[in-house]
Structure 1
Amino acid sequence: MELRHMRYFAVLAEELHFGRAAKRLHMAQPPLSQRIRDLEHELGVRLFDRRRPRIQLTEAGALLLEHVRPVLAGVETAREAMRRLQPGEAGVLRVGVPPDTKPPVLRTLTESFSRRAPDVLIDLHELTTEEQLVRLREGELDAGVVRHPADTVGLDSGPLARRDLGVVLREDHPCAQDEAPVRLRDLDGASLVIFPRVMAPQLYDHMLLTCRDGGFLPGAIRHARNPDFVHGLVLAGRGIHLNEPPTAPLAAGLVWRPLDGAPLAWLTSVVWVPTRQNEAIAAFTDAAGEGLTGAGHRPVDEVPDPPAGEAGAS
């Protein structure tokens, strides 16, 4: 029994008139009559009593209708679910954001997106840059907020936003004794606490190259991704950490200082697969820009040319 035959049968069972049923199905009456006969022949029963002026369902027809209606309803539910997966069509937009995205950015982003695309549900996923790029190319995400440099070959990208980085130090570190910006070479020999390379390989390498070019060769490298663990390692004297200015007070015993000349920065943008470009992604790109701007990021075109070896975001 084919799905289309079930639909023909259900419409005729509702109309009990071949002409009206054919009109609803956008087909001629003779083919509809033939399809119903084929269905009756396949099932070995009469579904309609055609002997009366107005056709009626037989007992077998009424029983079949009870089984067909849930099937057709389930098919329509499945179709609607698939439609809702298409971003921008009163559906869901699946997006990735970096694990360390600040709460104010997420709040502004989601509120701004809701204003721009009220009929689209935003489905946020906490993913590293590398994880986002993989899922974008596999069709599991519609857009992502990634940090550069990154392998975005084959992807479209929105405007870059920049946030200068500084350094988190123990308060007894020599570079923490005044408010002056810290030169990278003044950190030479200190251990560096940094995100694991697998999270953003190109950014990781770029940051270490920038540190080397600035005269900072870490005495050791320790990997951590949870902010509390990172700060715990710094507080325990196990290294220094490079990051943007904190949005909340640091733990007692820690300080943040800017870097002299701003040699390092998070460079962040929204990226997407070109074939999936639509109004919902455009709305998300604008909303992400609003969230980043509110958190202190600046459009790159408002920033002077960076010094050689500048790093982007993770």
Structure 2
Amino acid sequence: MELRHLRYFIAVAEELHFGRAARRLRLAQPPLSQQIRSLEEKLGLRLFHRTSRKVELTPEGSAFLERARLVLSHADGAFEFGRAASRGEAGRLTIGFVTSAVYNLVPDILREFHRVRPKVQIRCFEMNPEEQLIALRHHKLDVAFVRTPVREEGLESMLLAHEPLVLARSAGEGEEAAGGPVRLADFKAEEFIMLPRTLAPLYHDLVVTACQRAGFQPRFNQEAGEWQTALALVAAGLGVMLVPESLRQWRRPGVVYHALRTRTGELSLELVWRQAGPQPLVEAFAATAKVVAAGTRGLSG
């Protein structure tokens, strides 16, 4: 049985007239009658009572009509879903991201993509950079937001944004969260809080280089595996920390942020995906990310 047989049957069942059904289907009447007889033979059912004056559904035909409409509706929906997926308008997109990326640009990209492509199911996973690259290679992620520049065969990347580091320190009583610009060298006697290099190698090296250029070697007395944990340690007065500027958005109580008078380098945010054949969803997401990034501070830093 083919879907066309169901369409023929439904037309006859709704018109209760072979001639009108044939005109509706743009078929000649004899072939239509032949197709209905063939369908009845395949089903082993009599679907219609036929007389010279009228056509009526049998009880079996009425029951089959309900199921036929349901099957055809599902099939039409599947066809439309497939066509939408081929245009990047439907399907499922699996996204990886590093924690610091969610404080600024990534939510804006996700919001805009969901607005323009509401039929796409989005699944997001928080991962460190190495975990994301492994997941991309094993087809467990479609795209990834990473801080580390990726230049790897089989992967394609696009720079979305870069941002400076700011200094986070414990706030005094009643002190505002935003402080004035400071010199990094003025904090050489402080102990620094850091993420493990295994989790954020580029960030770790950037902090060390910034301190060395300011004339001192940083002393790391605490490590934390999450930005939120690290800033909680800063709030507790256990040390200072250089963090991406976008973390200001979190507004952690007890933490003051200072811009640095001398820029110490910048962290990039890149979108990475596999190089493959046509990937309508990935291509649509990358295009949205590019537009959103261009409309924010993005590439202007």
What is the CA-CA distance between 1:62 and the residue it aligns to?
A: 1.9
Residue 74 of structure 1 aligns with which residue?
Answer: 74
* TM-score, normalised with respect to structure 1: 0.65
Residue 209 of structure 1 is matched in structure 2 by 205
CA contact (8 A) 1:163 1:266 kept: yes
Give the whole-Å Cα distance in 2 for the aligned partners of 1:285 and 1:120. Answer: 21
Name the amino acid aligned to 1:276: Q
Maintained 8 Å contact 2:207/2:242:
no
Cα shift at 1:161:
1.8
Q: Tell whether 2:283 aligns with 1:284.
A: no
Question: CA, structure 1 residues 283+20, in 2 after alignment: closer, same or farther (shift >3 Å)?
Answer: farther
Question: Does the 8 A contact of 1:95 with 1:123 survive in 2?
Answer: yes
In 2, are the aligned partners of 1:145 and 1:268 still within 8 Å (CA)?
yes
The residue that corresponds to 1:232 in the other structure is: 232
Shift of residue 144, structure 1, vs aligned partner: 4.5
- Measure, in 2, the Cα distance between the counterparts of 1:58 and 1:171: 82
* Residue type at the aligned position of 2:203: M
Q: 1 CA distance for matches of 2:104 and 2:193?
A: 27
Give aligned pairs, total.
283
Provide the residue aligned with 2:175 in structure 1: none
The CA distance in 2 between the partners of 1:19 and 1:187, in whole Å, is 94
For the 8 Å contact 1:99–1:126, the answer to whether it is kept is no
Where does residue 270 of structure 1 map in the other structure? 271
Could you tell me how far 1:234 is from its partner in structure 2?
Answer: 1.6
Q: Which amino acid aligns with 2:39?
A: L
Q: Deviations over 1:40-82 (max 9, x none)?
A: 1233222123442554433322221123222322333444455
Aligned to 2:223: 222
The verdict on how the C-alpha distance between 1:60 and 1:121 changes in structure 2, with shifts beyond 3 A counting, is closer
Distance 1:251 1:92 in 2: 37
Alignment correspondent of 1:182: 184
The alignment-based identity, stated in percent, is 30
Gaps of 5+ in 1: 199-203, 301-314
Q: Which amino acid aligns with 2:165?
A: L
Unaligned runs of 5+ in 2: 173-178
One-letter amino acid of the counterpart of residue 195, structure 2: I
Alpha-carbon shift at residue 299 of structure 1 (Å): 3.4
User: How far is 1:195 from its partner?
Assistant: 6.5
Q: How much does 1:287 deviate?
A: 1.3
